[in-house]
Structure 1
Amino acid sequence: MSLYPPVAMAQASTLLVSATLFTIMFALGLGLPGDGLRVVRQRWGLVLRVLVGSCLLVPLAALLLLKLPVSVALSPAARLAIGLMAVCPSAPLILRKAGNQGGDRQLAALLQGCAAVAAIVSVPLMADLYSSAFGLSGWDVGPAEVALQVGRVQILPLLAGLALRRWEPQLVGRIQGPLDRLANGLLLLLIVLVLIKTGPLLLPFVGRELLALALMAVMVLVALAIGLLLAGPQPRERTTVALVTSMRNPGLALLLATTYAPSQPSVKIAVLAYLLVTVLLSLPVLRWQQGQGAA
């Protein structure tokens, strides 16, 4: 009896996360044009640059950062969290931020979908590179685990939304608005619950891991800079690409942490801290970039 409430709460939290991500991606699929593949073919140069930046340059930048002498003082959990977040591209929450920060939501969806597919190959390769660089063992990350995660919570609902838009456009017109509101409500509820659950653990982490927070901030700025440099001159495109490269996939990072580092629960707290730093730092940077473009 004493074990039931924690187990039930964990199951409810997992269900809420899955429902939120599925609803966000499904709603996005309903709102996307049906010529996404044509856009990818027309903008293949931009897509290729974003994939290189998000799946290769950001993880390599983190690897170099973690090799610097200053990183020796990091705790193992913080070091592992920075590495995990760096190698995991394509975050579903990019889409909401792209719309709110003056970016191109449809372009963000296309780039995110491409990055999610590329992650099936890039994450295992980067995991092998990190394992060799730091002498880690037991990190045999395979494409199957990555494909299952990104396929279930990103690709599948996105394709379902696109299919429904193509075959039932009248139905989509009736449900798109309510579904968007539902997605926003679930996202807000998820954020509140995460803060309530992790707040007592995040505060001690912040107090004792100031160096880790500083290096996380450096990584976010580097990832934003990579996105801004890889994008074209158009302001909305620059904002969108910067978001795609800087926002990492905490869901996949937490999955890998649970699978390969179950004896280090503090890694999950560090991953959430990285996500928090990303959200707090990306907003003012992107607003400043938009102001520069307007000037």
Structure 2
Amino acid sequence: MSLAQLIPIAMSISLFIVVFVLGTKTRLEDLSFLLRHPGLLIRSIVAMNVIMLVFVVALSQMFDLNPTIKIALVALAVSPVPPLLPSKQIKAGGAANYAVGLLAAASLVAIVLVPVSIELMEYVFPFELHISAGTITSILVLSVLVPLVSGIAIGGFAPAFAQRCAPYLSTAGTVLLLAALIPSLVKAWPAFSGLFSQGVLLCLVLFSLVGLAVGHLMGGPVPTDRTVLALATATRHPSIAMAIATLNFPDQRAVLALIIYHLVVASVVSLPYLRWRTREHGAVGPA
């Protein structure tokens, strides 16, 4: 088996482990948190999947962007919350029940919303896009729902065992993710750097900055909710975005490169916000 085949497998395993560890620290009722707060659920979906998609359309209409950049931005805009995000949100002072509940709710909503959004984009952009609900479901079930529910089950039936194993599993998942991500970044660099002169870096930075601002404003009156939604709106599930790109444009390696490097750009852009929110939440006490 080649390195190119091993990288996505290693990334999938690492994501499974990280979400499983998150599940061991999660209560079952956290999964339905947003069902008990429908107003916050609606604002969250509007911020992540409606306003950001409108922003991408507006950006594409105002500037003569390379089609590769347009495709990558659309794929990112319609993708749900990334599996790695809740831990970062909680460390920054975000409410754990909202962070986990948003991961679960956004994943379920994405099964319907992503294919519909993709079809609607055909009326705006001069290229065809499509992805089935079955493809979205399989990705989200394996990367989010199964490890999360499994972790909750283990944490509930054997809490002491889960607590002992969690640090080791978390370290293993992080190391495996880095081992998969670093070669991916190196391999994607030539295609990504080739678009520098066409404003690709500026587009990715704007996507993350606008996402942070939109999520923070739409998060409502609770400061911890603002932190969670801001980070969720600025980042995306890379597997969903890559599936959209691969299915519709299998020969466009530059699109995949943009999606991979969005992880890096979003992390760097979010650092000042993370530090600010950590200080703010620390000043007012624990969430």
TM-score by structure 2 length?
Answer: 0.89
Which residue pairs with 2:87 in the alignment? Answer: 96
Which residue pairs with 1:188 in the alignment? Answer: 178
Which residue pairs with 1:232 in the alignment? Answer: 220
Which residue pairs with 2:45 in the alignment? Answer: 51
Q: Of 268, 285, 288, which residue of structure 1 is paired with 2:256?
A: 268
Q: Is the 8 A contact 1:55 1:119 kept in 2?
A: no
Q: Of 8, 13, 27, which residue of structure 2 is paired with 1:33?
A: 27
Residue 257 of structure 1 aligns to a residue whose secondary structure is helix
Structure 2 letter corresponding to 1:111: L
Per-residue deviation, 1:172: 1.8
Residue 2 of structure 2 aligns to a residue whose secondary structure is helix
Q: Is the 8 A contact 1:27 1:179 kept in 2?
A: yes
Structure 1 letter corresponding to 2:249: A
Tell which deviates more after alignment, 105-114 or 186-195.
Answer: 186-195
User: What is the alpha-carbon distance in structure 1 between the residues aligned to residue 67 and residue 92 of structure 2?
Assistant: 34
Structure 1 letter corresponding to 2:248: Y
Which residue pairs with 1:3 in the alignment? Answer: none
Per-residue deviation, 1:99: 3.5
Q: Are 2:160 and 1:166 equivalent residues in the alignment?
A: no
User: What is the alpha-carbon distance in structure 1 between the residues aligned to residue 87 and residue 163 of structure 2?
Assistant: 20
Q: Of 281, 286, 292, which residue of structure 1 is paired with 2:269?
A: 281
**Mapping of residues 232-251 of structure 1, within 5 Å:** 232-251=220-239
Q: Is the 8 A contact 1:213 1:274 kept in 2?
A: no
Task: Note the residue ranges of structure 1 that are not aligned, 5 or more in a row.
Answer: 1-6
Tell which deviates more after alignment, 181-190 or 143-152.
Answer: 181-190
**Mapping of residues 150-229 of structure 1, within 5 Å:** 150-206=140-196, 208-209=197-198, 211-229=199-217
State the Cα RMSD in Å: 2.3
Residue 56 of structure 2 aligns to a residue whose secondary structure is helix
Q: Is the 8 A contact 1:51 1:114 kept in 2?
A: no
Tell which deviates more after alignment, 95-104 or 158-167.
Answer: 95-104
Q: Are 2:245 and 1:257 equivalent residues in the alignment?
A: yes
Per-residue deviation, 1:291: 5.3
Q: Is the 8 A contact 1:26 1:161 kept in 2?
A: yes
Q: Is the 8 A contact 1:205 1:270 kept in 2?
A: no
TM-score by structure 1 length?
Answer: 0.87
User: What is the alpha-carbon distance in structure 2 between the residues aligned to residue 14 and residue 37 of structure 1?
Assistant: 27
User: What is the alpha-carbon distance in structure 2 between the residues aligned to residue 123 and residue 202 of structure 1?
Assistant: 25
Q: Is the 8 A contact 2:188 2:254 kept in 1?
A: no
User: What is the alpha-carbon distance in structure 2 between the residues aligned to residue 53 and residue 232 of structure 1?
Assistant: 12
Tell which deviates more after alignment, 187-196 or 77-86.
Answer: 187-196
Q: Is the 8 A contact 2:21 2:151 kept in 1?
A: yes
How many residues align? The count is 283
Per-residue deviation, 1:46: 1.5
**Mapping of residues 110-189 of structure 1, within 5 Å:** 110-137=101-128, 139-189=129-179
Which residue pairs with 1:4 in the alignment? Answer: none
User: What is the alpha-carbon distance in structure 1 between the residues aligned to residue 31 and residue 67 of structure 2?
Assistant: 42
Q: Is the 8 A contact 1:228 1:242 kept in 2?
A: yes
Q: Are 2:15 and 1:24 equivalent residues in the alignment?
A: no
Deviating 4+ runs (over 6 angstroms): none
Alpha carbons of structure 1 residues 271 and 41: separation in structure 2 relative to 1, 3 Å: closer
Q: Is the 8 A contact 1:56 1:122 kept in 2?
A: no
User: What is the alpha-carbon distance in structure 1 between the residues aligned to residue 191 and residue 167 of structure 2?
Assistant: 37
User: What is the alpha-carbon distance in structure 2 between the residues aligned to residue 262 and residue 34 of structure 1?
Assistant: 39
User: What is the alpha-carbon distance in structure 2 between the residues aligned to residue 273 and residue 150 of structure 1?
Assistant: 21
Per-residue deviation, 1:252: 1.0
Structure 2 letter corresponding to 1:115: A
Alpha carbons of structure 1 residues 38 and 8: separation in structure 2 relative to 1, 3 Å: closer
